Amino acid sequence: MDDSELQRTPNPFSAFAATRAESRRHLAASAKWLLIAIGLFCVLTISQVYLHRAKLSGIVNGFSQQSSTEKVRQLEQLHASDMDGIDGLVSALCDEKTDVSAMAAEMLADLNRQWTTMPADRAAERRTVFANALERVASQLDDRTDSRWVQIQSLAHHAAQNLIDSSCRIDDPAYQSLMKVIAADESRPSDTLSDVSTSGNPLPID
């Protein structure tokens, strides 16, 4: 067989080569669309997170202008928003309507109970946000006989006790913030506070 006849002879492997090439093209196209789908999913997820946080921010900013009924509805939204709703719930502790403040306190107490069953790292994040917010709102109340102040103190004591039960360090930021709230309660003996603060031991939790 000369060269010309060899060139005219069909390649028995050409069909397999074409099939492999077609498979590679399909695989590349599938991978491209998969990456596009993943990218769109990430963009959608991030957008939903930001929209949700923007909605919660709007609730907090306009909370004081709402009716009691609307405030209760918004508190339920904050309560269902996990860590993103903590700051708004704590702010509601100072609401002028005592029933609204009491409901916010009940919801925060419920969240604190939920955190005791969470993995330590997730619970620590939420307790830190809660303690910082509680320290902030505690400074807004001057009347230590106000029922809202009593609720803040109760929440601080229970949260601090939960931290002690979880064997947290005394220099834990959340614990330190809670201790500042407790120490601000003028009904506690000042000499007792002084003694325990200099001894390096945790403050007593009633």
- What band does 13 get if pLDDT is binned at 50, 70 and 90? low
Furthest-apart CA pair in the chain: how many Å?
A: 112
Q: What is the pLDDT of the chain when averaged over all its residues?
A: 80
Kindly list the distances between the CA atom of residue 103 and the CA atoms of 68, 149, 150, in Å, as whole numbers in the listed order.
Answer: 11, 14, 14
In single-letter form, the type of residue at position 202 comes to P
Lowest average pLDDT, out of 75-79, 111-115, 162-166, 196-200, goes to 196-200
Question: How far apart are alpha carbons 80 and 206 in whole angstroms?
Answer: 29
pLDDT value of residue 10: 57
The residue written with tokens 């708004």 in the block is 88
Q: 86: which 2 tokens? A: 């903590």
Question: How far apart are alpha carbons 23 and 98 in whole angstroms?
Answer: 69
Distance, first Cα to last Cα, the chain: 104
Question: How far apart are alpha carbons 93 and 165 in whole angstroms?
Answer: 25
pTM: 0.67
What SS3 state is found at 86? helix
pLDDT value of residue 34: 79
